[in-house]
Structure 1
Amino acid sequence: MLQKQVKKQQNVLIKGTKAGLTFYFNDQCSFAALIAELQEKISERPKPADADDAFVRVKLVTGNRYLEEEQMKQLEQILTEHINGVIDSVDSNVVSKKEAEAARHNHEVSRLVKIVRSGQVIETTGDLLLIGDVNPGATVRATGSIYIMGKLRGMAHAGYDGKKQAVICASSMLPTQLRIADVIRTPPEEASGQWMECAYLDDSGKIVVEPVQRLVSIRPELTSFIQEKP
């Protein structure tokens, strides 16, 4: 009787790309088994002729496996020794607790009832909802968007850590300066501040100030309200 051969599951799959090498890791096996197979497979690969001079860019695809700091160091050492590889990116379905906490903070809304006076600086992680005015000489900064239910007559900097999708809204938009990410705009001379407006980065990377109703079309993700059907 012929015995049916069972194909051994690969813990490491290596694919070459124009950018370098991509390593696909099985997320169900132990890390020790993963390392053993990795060392076996890359030791069989011939070194490039210019291996001593050129680095090989490596991408790791780990699925539901989270790599601890020590595990990453071990992988870096093995890849460097055998193929002169440098880990360029890690594609994973999981994040660390620290990364999850940072993401949560970046999506939080800080609420403040205050008149921000000249010389004062308000800075927060995530979005800022300010009920009050920002006087000339005052500054409000947020990693997310800034919403001011009052007069903005000072400086507002949204997305100060680089978030270009951030917006600035105010009931009365008369700022001394607007900043979104690393883009700066001084207010136009014809600004009246008579109605609620929003500032955002358009496709060309410039800060545009328009009536707040435009937010529905330019930043639809800001709207989470779902109207119930009768």
Structure 2
Amino acid sequence: MELKGDRRGLHLLATDLSNEDGLVDDLVKTLNARHKFLGTAAIYLEVNLPLTPSLFQRVAEVFSIFPNLTLKGIIQTDPSSVIPLEAKKPPSPPLIVRHTVRSGQQIMHQGDIIVIGDVNPGATIIASGDVMVFGWLRGTVYAGQPGDRARHIYALRLQPAQIKIGDVIALGDGHGEQPEYAHIEEGTVVVQRWDDVRLPEVVTQESKNRRIERRASHLSH
């Protein structure tokens, strides 16, 4: 694997490998040969494979063998090979989830997803649009699928296990001390403070409609 550096950090290029097994084997050999030279580097891995949870887990396991090194993220260099999430369908209205998403649960939606509750460790959210979590985000969230880097992930407390925006995947980031959002900046996932925290209009309007329906039902009896 070729090693290059830019102002974002060090990149290992694995773009000539066409399957996960070959990538993992080559990654082990490369890190075993270079880990002393690399010191305590934070590294981005560039691949030409679909970004799947399986790939991320296997790469993370390799890096765990070398505790002095940090896997900063995996960058997909060929977006055409990303597995689409019903890419040809037009976006649907936002999906509003009014409960905590628990471990083992997976929610997928072609559009924005708004969670009024927490996303627990072991839970997965996959959206073609933005993801907003009005609670703790400790699970896995994919926004902008299959390849929209302009999307965002918002949370009142951001401590995800893993996040992916478009074709860029990264380890959990954020401090969990204040509202924050993640977005892509120059090919890297960046986390910033979320200052303008408010429920989207679609949520407040839905709540208003529910109150009207309950009132109408009560008056009809």
* Larger RCO of the pair (alpha carbons < 8 Å, separation 6+): 2
Classify the TM-score, shorter chain: 0.3 to 0.5
Structure showing greater radius of gyration is: 1
Q: What TM-score do you get using the length of structure 2 for normalisation?
A: 0.47
